[in-house]
Amino acid sequence: MVNEAVRKLRKEIRSGLYSYLILLILNENEKLHGYAIRKRLEELTDGKLVPSEGALYSILKMLKKYKLVEDYWAEVGGRVRRYYQITELGKEVLDEIKEEIREIRIILERIEKG
């Protein structure tokens, strides 16, 4: 029962966090394909916050729907891949979310210290 509750809460916390991290990564890099985004998440989080491939592409689809990222197909090294880049709207939203994350961090630290 405890493991089930932990899994559920962890999934809820991570779902929004993944979107934030993907926007951060795309903001740092001009353009990346899905696999490169996943590898970058793996590197930056020591493998602790890496969505499944299916979840990653669902998140990218949602970010595209809200026009926070755009995609295009390109051939590199003989391979055709879909590349993603953050839009101007995505950068504006990212700035807002960064502030929200800072506030959440402060609140969590205050509550955890008691």
**Predicted TM-score (pTM) of this structure:** 0.90
Structural domain tally of the chain? 1
Distance between CA 55 and CA 38 in Å, rounded? 11
Query: Domain holding 47: CATH number?
Result: 1.10.10.10
Average pLDDT, the chain: 94
> What DSSP state is assigned to residue 87?
-
Q: Residue 63 has what pLDDT?
A: 98
Query: Which range of residues forms the domain containing residue 102?
Result: 2-113
What pLDDT was estimated at residue 15? Answer: 87
Is the model more confident about 98 or about 1?
98
The one-letter amino acid code at 78 reads G
- Contact 84/67 with Cβ under 8 angstroms? no
Tokens of 70: 């755009």
Q: Following CA atoms 102, 36, 60, 49 in sequence, which dihedral angle do they give, to the nearest 10 degrees?
A: -50
In the beta sheet, which residues pair with residue 76? 79
